[in-house]
Chain A
Amino acid sequence: MALLLSCVAGDLILSVLAVILSGWRYATPIVYGGTLVISAILSGIALFAVAQSPMSITLPLGLPWLGAHFRLDALAAAFLLIVNFGGAGVSLYALGYGRHEPEPGRVLPFYPVFLAAMNLVVIAADAYSFLLAWELMSLASWALVIARHRTNGNLRAGYIYLLMASAGTFALLFCFGLLAGAQGNYAFAAIRAHHLAPSLTGLALALALIGAGSKAGLVPFHVWLPLAHPAAPSHVSALMSGVMTKVAIYAFIRIVFDLMGPPQWWWSVAPLLLGGATAALGVLYALMETDIKRILAYSTIENVGIIFIAIGLALAFKASGLAGAAALALTAALFHVLNHMLFKSVLFFGAGTLIVSTGTRDIEKLGGLINRLPYSSAAVLAASIAISALPPFNGFASEWLVFQSILVSPQLPQMGLKLIVPGVGVLLALAAALAAACFVRAFGITYLGRPRTPAAAAAREVDRWSLAAMLGLAALCLFVGLFPGLAIDWLQPVASAMVSGRMPPQSSIAWLSIVPVSASRSSYNGLLLFGFMVAAATIAAAMVHRFASRAVRIAPFWDCGYPNLGPQVQYSATSLSQPIRRVFGSVTFGAHETVDMPAPEDPRPAKLVRTIRDPVWDFLYAPIAVFIDRAAGLLNHIQFLTIRVYLAMVFVALVALLTVLALWG
């Protein structure tokens, strides 16, 4: 525990150092090298801390009589690993990528603070330290979002992020206030012992959903995410997408499974429905975008939805006393958290290499990069397959577990839930299929085909640090996909602590298969399937090369006999998603196209304009903005009152507060 806290302190010292050193050319390698070492140590600690009994420490900081409580239990350790393993990968990548930073002084000091704050959120064991670390995390990431404040739109992204982050923290603040009760002991141990009145649990749950959900990117609180994540430098985007959203998921699990006491079945309805909507909408948004980082940000929203579906299922099972099924669903959620950290980091790193080597984020201006960036394109291809939930990579293993937890849902006693869960299953399956479409589009348009611009044609492979980080994490995606049992077994202490149940121990199952409930119900063996595929492909290739003609001729492409019309005739990202936009987008986003076709002999160019409206902005945030504007206008009168009126207002407010206290206490 002491080592852990000193590592976190080390991060904070590094950030001070970064301020002092900024401008020196070795500042970048020192800061990222330092965070790399610290994160690696912390990942090591987390790896072993999961199975051990909880450790805690109280520092004489923070609120008087409270102190700063820190505790490392199984749940905290699992997320400590996510934070620091992700942090280590990002630091490694940044050793190379950070060199291209035009103003390192705007990034370096905040980066270690961001890491330290996320570590503190995970190990905090009282509401005060938790919220303090949470705010520190938000502010550090906000500073990183506006690091490139001169780029168009980044300041607006930072502004919206700040607004949403404050609103989310307020919700969490009220949530902890409710949970702590009128006596108000904010240590988590005291909150755990205090039982909330049943009438207030719904309110506490809603506040937790808003607070944690807004940071995680749950629809409809996701609006800041696709603006803020792309605005930050790419390695920070990876950290925000792969890690910070996971810290928010940690907060939700901590509050709902640990602090709120025994769950009711209806608690699961909101996470299930919001999760389903988030998964399907997130990927649909992603399919409408052409900015690679916005695509990835929306795809993060989709994955957060998948995780929330699994969390909702775990809640439902726990409430009904189905401990084994609850362990399955919670393990699926945590496993997907881990997997998403792995592949989303690679994808954002890939986006970073695109920016470095071509200078653009717009995939419409790229193409043909697989021949020019052979290693990074291979890593991104692996991560794209993984995020599309296709075997044998890790994304499939965790989504398979989510599907399996849906398949045990008929054991639930509530008819309502029985009917909701298959509906959510449709949304999940839809999201999985659309994610594959999304990454066919993202990878295919960017890396395949012919270069659409000279910048894409001149692209060069990036430095070795970046490649090491990308290829290493991509290899891990495959490794975890082949041996998912290792990860599942590693996560078991968390499931036992949160839902007091466990999945069958996977290491005892023959052939390294994984089974969610029992072998007769279903099983999946990534390793054997992969072996099968390799064997089948090798046999086929060997037979073909043995017996078939081996002649190869390189020729211009055929394209039905048309001569070369230039790379602009290729399908673009927008045209590739046109059918999906027509099928799904017209309902969801009111997408439509207007074609302006000039009459014959009119030399005007033809024009096709597509419009997409975001229903969440139109129906939720625009009315709120209008309301706040009006309210501010009305409240403006208060500025010009006499002092007597002000004193009267203070008195009335005091009486009102005391009345509330008297009634509540």
Chain B
Amino acid sequence: MGLIGEIALQFCQMALVVILAPAVVGLVRKMKARLQRRIGPPVLQPYRDLRRLFGKEVVLPENASWLFRVAPYAIFALTWVAVALVPTFRTGLLFSWCGDLIAIVALLGAARFLQALVALDTGTSFGGIGSSREVMIASLAEPAMIMVVFTVALAAGSSQLSTVADFMAHVGGLRVSFAMALVALIIVALAENARIPVDNPATHLELTMIHEAMLLEYSGRHLAMIEWATALKLLLYISVIGCIFFPFGLITTGGGGPLAYVLAIAAYLFKVIVASLLLASLETAIAKMRVFRVPNLTGIALMLGLLGTLLLFVSGGL
């Protein structure tokens, strides 16, 4: 396939994730509602919300600086680039080598850095509370994520996500280390996406809130960009878990015909739906933790990640 085709595929990947992301949020909400015997909003409701938000005027707080206005676009762009590097339906996309898993983690870190900063920009106490808790949770979740990266990268001999996915699809196999890494990655995903048990994405104005507290002063198109970025981040973690631990259906290097692409995208959609269902049932089944219990949870993720890495050496045959 020529360069044009590769560029087109990369573009498809970027378009696919950005279009799909709000649907995932809608899907999780719908399933949660059904599990709680409510009807719930339609799956496509997040798109309507976004459209509504885009149509509204922006209410800027008086002392907001330029950073407050620039940050939503930057956060959106950082998250979008990060998710564009994750293989969804095919590994080895044109630009997949320009950042490995560590770079993806760092891109998300940069988005969070900006988010936590602009929460302080308005000079309100709620922004501060969100920012403060966000950095506390991230300070353990991010190292845990790095340890998961170590585990899979050491096994696959590369931190490049495409190579890792290729390795898992062809060589892989069952290992205790991978199981530990998977559990750690799920905990990290819950913490990073502000899901139950760490944070509740459905509430405002509770003293327990983290992520939503940082957005309180945002409105209109700025809020829409951040909401969209949040949805992208959720899709990113689902895609990462999918391509590392459940790489079936992925087109690996070499490519295939049009039918293969249809099947691969179908497999990807299937994975996303299953992940949403699992997330919805998890969020329905368990309660939110107290804020200062969260470090225990993320600490467990960190330890699991480290144990996974160390077990690789002990179990031999690296």
Question: Which A residues fall within an 8 A CB radius of B?
Answer: 367-368, 370-371, 381, 385, 388-391, 396, 400, 403-404, 406-407, 410, 415, 418-419, 422-423, 425-426, 429-430, 432-434, 436-437, 439-441, 443-445, 448-450, 511, 513, 519-525, 528-529, 532-534, 536-537, 540-541, 544, 547-549, 551-560, 567, 569-571, 575-580, 582-584
Q: Is the CB of A430 within 8 A of B143?
A: yes
Task: Specify which chain A residues have a CB less than 8 angstroms from the CB of B84 in the assembled complex.
Answer: 532
Whether A524 contacts B150 by the Cβ 8 Å rule is no
Q: Determine the chain A residues whose CB is within 8 A of the CB of B106 once the complex forms.
A: 389-391, 396, 400
B138 touches A555 (CB 8 A): no
List the B side residues contacting A519 at CB < 8 Å: 97
Q: Chain B 281-318 against A: per-residue CB contact (8 Å), 1 yes, 0 no?
A: 00000000001100100000010001001101100001
Q: Which residues of B does A touch, CB under 8 Å?
A: 14, 54-67, 73-74, 76-78, 80-81, 84, 95, 97-100, 102-103, 106-107, 109-110, 112-113, 116-118, 120-129, 131-133, 135-136, 138-143, 146-147, 150, 153-154, 157-160, 163, 205, 216-217, 220-221, 224-225, 291-292, 295, 302, 306, 309-310, 312-313, 318
The 8 Å CB contact of B123, one of A422, A450, A513, A548, is A450
CB distance from B166 to the nearest CB of A (A): 10
Closest to B296 in A: A583
Structural contact, B58 and A553, CB atoms closer than 8 A: yes
A403 touches B147 (CB 8 A): no
Kindly list 7 other residue pairs between chains A and B, CB separation below 8 angstroms, not including A541-B73, A569-B124, A575-B128.
A403-B102, A426-B306, A450-B63, A522-B160, A529-B81, A558-B61, A558-B216
8 Å CB contact of B117 from A400, A423, A440:
A440
B139→A560 contact, CB < 8 A: no
Residues of A within 8 A of B112 (CB): 436
Taking a contact as CB atoms under 8 Å apart, the answer to whether B221 and A549 are in contact is yes
Nearest Cβ distance between residue A286 and chain B, in whole angstroms? 13
**Smallest CB separation, B4 vs chain A (Å):** 17
Q: A557 to B124, Cβ gap below 8 A?
A: yes
Q: Are A548 and B221 in contact (CB under 8 A)?
A: yes
Nearest CB in chain B: distance from A275 CB, A: 16
Which A residues are in CB contact (< 8 Å) with B61? Answer: 554-558
A and B contact pairs by CB, cutoff 8 A, 21 listed:
A388-B113, A391-B99, A396-B103, A403-B102, A406-B150, A425-B147, A433-B143, A436-B113, A437-B135, A445-B120, A449-B120, A523-B97, A533-B78, A536-B14, A537-B76, A544-B221, A551-B58, A554-B60, A559-B216, A560-B216, A567-B123
Known: A403-B146, A448-B65. A536 touches B80 (CB 8 A): yes
Contact present for A400 and B103 (CB under 8 Å): yes
Between A404, A433, A434, A524, the greatest number of chain B beta carbons within 10 A of the residue's beta carbon is seen for A433
B127 / chain A contacts, CB cutoff of 8 Å: 571
Closest residue on chain A to residue B146 by CB atoms: A429
A433–B108 alpha-carbon span in the complex (Å): 12
Contact A555 B62 (CB under 8 A): yes
B128 near A570 with CB under 8 A, answer: yes
**CB-defined contacts of B98 to chain A, threshold 8 Å:** 511, 513, 523-525, 528-529, 532
Contact among A418, A449, A524, A553 with B59 in the assembled complex (CB-CB below 8 Å): A553
Q: Smallest CB-CB separation from A440: which chain B residue? A: B116
Residues B131 and A436 in contact, CB atoms below 8 Å apart: no
The answer to whether B158 and A522 touch across the interface, beta carbons within 8 angstroms, is: yes
| Chain A residue, CB-CB nearest to B54 | A548
Taking CB atoms, residues of chain B closer than 8 Å to A553 are: 57-60
* Of A434, A533, A577, the contact of B132 (CB 8 Å cutoff): A577
Beta-carbon nearest neighbor of B116 in chain A? A440
Contact A367 B159, beta carbon cutoff 8 Å? no
Q: Which residues of B contact A433 (CB under 8 A)?
A: 109, 138-143
- Contact at B128–A571, with CB atoms within 8 Å? yes
Q: Which residue of B lies closest to A388 (CB)?
A: B113
A426 to B127, CA, bound (A): 30
Smallest beta-carbon distance A570→chain B, Å: 5
A565 to B191, CA, bound (A): 32
A579 and B59 within 8 A (CB) = no
A556-B117 Cα distance, complex, nearest whole Å: 19
Residues B123 and A407 in contact, CB atoms below 8 Å apart: no
Give the distance to chain B from A285, nearest Cβ to Cβ, in Å: 15
> Chain A contacts of B14 at CB under 8 A?
536
A375 to chain B, nearest CB (A): 12
Contact (Cβ within 8 A) A426 B160: no
**Cβ-defined contact, A540 with B225, below 8 A:** yes
Give the CA-CA distance A575 to B126 in the complex, in Å: 12
Contact between B123 and A418 (Cβ–Cβ < 8 Å)? no
Whether B131 and A444, one on each chain, are in contact in the complex, defined by CB atoms closer than 8 angstroms, is yes
The chain B residue sitting closest to A532, CB to CB, is B81
Q: List residues of chain A with CB within 8 A of the CB of B306.
A: 422-423, 426
Q: Which of A367, A390, A441, A567 has the most CB of B within 10 A?
A: A390
